[in-house]
Amino acid sequence: MNMNRHESATEFAQSSLTRLKEVMEVGDDSSEEFLRSIFDSVQASIFVVDVLKNGDFCYVALNPAHEQWTGILSEDIKGKKPEDILCLSDAVKVRKHYSDCVRFGKKISYEQCLQFQGVPTWWKTSLTPLFNSESRIYRLVGISTNINQQKETEEALRKQGEREHLLERVATSIRQGSANDVLLNQTVNDVRQFLNCDRVLIYRFAADWSGEVIVESSARPWAKVLGSQVKDSCFSEKQVEAYKKGRIQAVEDIYSGGLHPCYRDLLAQFEVRANMVVPILANSDLWGLLIIHHCQEARQWHSWESDLLKQLTIQLGIAVQQSLEVSSLHCQLKELELRFQSQSVQLEQALNREKIAINITEELRNGKDEHLALESAVTQLAMILQLTGCHVELYNSNYQKATIVCEYGNITASQGITRDVADYPKIYQPLLRKKHLQFGEIVSGWNPKLNVAMQLAYPIYDAL
């Protein structure tokens, strides 16, 4: 029998199996020879299973193609049950398919992953029942195609779709202005689930290159490290520069990765077995690190994983930079608000001072008694300037004495007291020269917790 060049090995095996059933149904003596020719010539994997009367299954033979794929010889499988050649979980899976084929009494097709010699392999299998003269299914013939490459392609496409979705989620959150803590928490959760690792965290540097774990996603039973403040004694300026240039550190096993003992011990403290560290840069400054921990065992890191994390940290760096800029703008706005408030207070005080001056001037112009006008002035000045006390002194005709003629406040009861100008030259000489002065004065008998009063003195003089 010659196979058409457009006909695949699997299609040929299927057509041959149909022919075999026909031969066996008519009792053709060449059926065994025909089956053997299929086994020897077809490139598709073929296996034969006996269906025992008690409903159990045992293998009859494998063709050379199946021997090549599985690494198991036909003579080694003959008479054995699924549990004798497969792990328990795989044996349960194949038994279910064999039982379904017998129960339905017709060909079934399925995909499954089985381990042979410890190597997982994906198969697409068509299982066909054979009936004896009593219409009992006594044998199953399976034709399998290795679909590892197809599954790898499907898995690669699925992973690529998930990576694109993850990156788009982060980018969308940034565009929508999500709060920084929400974005960071969402990212570490997504990364841990996507990479199927034990812990993902973001470590933020302080000015002295110590730092703190500010965001974390961890799986049980591994300890949480959120809030941990860490000072890595091995961290140096050389590493800072390397991370600024985009260095990604991937360690498959901390015990065989050639790590410095201090760094290895630091990772062991957090139950880490393998890790990957990716820098987060904000405007070219090293802001922090995105750190992946695999705790249960050593792990081989793939290039697509580091590429994904690099793209993610670029997005996170943009978000961090925006957050820093917003924070800076808030500080500037707060400073402007305080400055505006201060200027408003100063303006209000200036207006009040002007109002006082106008009031006093108007009172004097309107012929108000001089003493009453002065009393009004000290009261208004003390209140508007929030002073503890205020008083007015008047000189005698030869400027040798000064008498307190009106007073506001309760520092001392000094109204009516007269002082000799000559006894206080540092005070009265500048005032007589029409200069104001400011000085501190110890006030006896006043508040014992604060017995120094700041004094501000201004001269009052007429137009002469």
pLDDT of residue 32: 54
**Helix, strand, coil percentages in the chain from 3-state DSSP, rounded to 5:** 45, 25, 30
List the domain boundaries for the chain.
9-146, 157-327, 369-457
Domains 9-146 and 157-327 share a fold: yes
What DSSP designation does 36 have? H
pLDDT of residue 319: 87
Instruction: Tell me, yes or no, if the pTM score tops 0.95.
Output: no
pLDDT of residue 26: 41
CATH domain 369-457 topology: Beta-Lactamase (3.30.450)
Query: What span, in angstroms and rounded, lies between the C-alpha atoms of 242 and 235?
Result: 11
What DSSP designation does 421 have? G
Helices (H) and strands (E) in the chain, counts: 13, 16
Q: Contact at 8 Å (CB) between 149 and 122?
A: no
CATH domain 157-327 topology: Beta-Lactamase (3.30.450)
What DSSP designation does 422 have? G
Which residue carries 């992953």 as its tokens?
Answer: 113
Query: What span, in angstroms and rounded, lies between the C-alpha atoms of 261 and 270?
Result: 15
Q: In which region does residue 367 sit, left (phi positive, over 0), alpha (psi from -120 to 50) or beta (all else)?
A: left
Query: What span, in angstroms and rounded, lies between the C-alpha atoms of 105 and 117?
Result: 32
Residues 6 or more apart whose CB falls under 8 angstroms from that of 412 comprise 389, 443, 445, 446
Which has the closest alpha carbon to 164: 322, 315, 319, 293?
315
Query: What span, in angstroms and rounded, lies between the C-alpha atoms of 155 and 163?
Result: 12
Phi, psi of 219 (to 5 degrees): -100, 150
Query: What span, in angstroms and rounded, lies between the C-alpha atoms of 329 and 324?
Result: 9
pLDDT of residue 297: 92
Q: Which two tokens stand for residue 298?
A: 């050593």
Decide: helix, strand or coil at residue 224: coil
Q: Contact at 8 Å (CB) between 422 and 401?
A: no
CATH class given for the domain over 9-146: alpha beta
Which has the closest alpha carbon to 312: 276, 353, 340?
276
Query: What span, in angstroms and rounded, lies between the C-alpha atoms of 439 and 425?
Result: 13
Q: How far apart are the first and last CA of the chain?
A: 139
Query: What span, in angstroms and rounded, lies between the C-alpha atoms of 401 and 422?
Result: 8
Give me the DSSP letters along 303-354: HHHHHHHHHHHHHHHHHHHHHHHHHHHHHHHHHHHHHHHHHHHHHHHHHHHH
Query: What span, in angstroms and rounded, lies between the C-alpha atoms of 409 and 386?
Result: 11
Q: Which two tokens stand for residue 178?
A: 């999500």
Q: What is the pLDDT along the chain (464 residues), one digit of tens a residue?
A: 333 433 454 554 455 455 444 444 444 444 555 555 655 556 678 899 999 999 999 999 888 888 888 888 888 889 999 999 999 999 999 999 999 999 999 999 999 999 887 888 899 999 999 999 899 999 999 999 888 888 888 888 888 888 888 888 888 877 776 678 888 998 999 999 989 999 999 999 988 888 899 999 999 889 888 988 887 777 777 788 899 998 999 999 999 988 888 889 889 989 999 999 999 998 889 999 999 999 999 999 999 999 999 999 998 998 888 888 877 888 888 888 888 788 777 777 777 777 777 777 776 667 667 788 888 888 888 887 778 888 899 999 899 999 999 898 866 667 889 999 999 999 899 999 989 888 776 655 544 454 567 788 888 877 65
Q: Which two tokens stand for residue 59?
A: 């293998």
pLDDT of residue 379: 86
Residues 6 or more apart whose CB falls under 8 angstroms from that of 286 comprise 205, 240, 243, 244, 279, 280
Query: What span, in angstroms and rounded, lies between the C-alpha atoms of 377 and 392?
Result: 9
Phi, psi of 102 (to 5 degrees): -65, -40
pLDDT of residue 62: 87
Which has the closest alpha carbon to 12: 25, 26, 1?
1
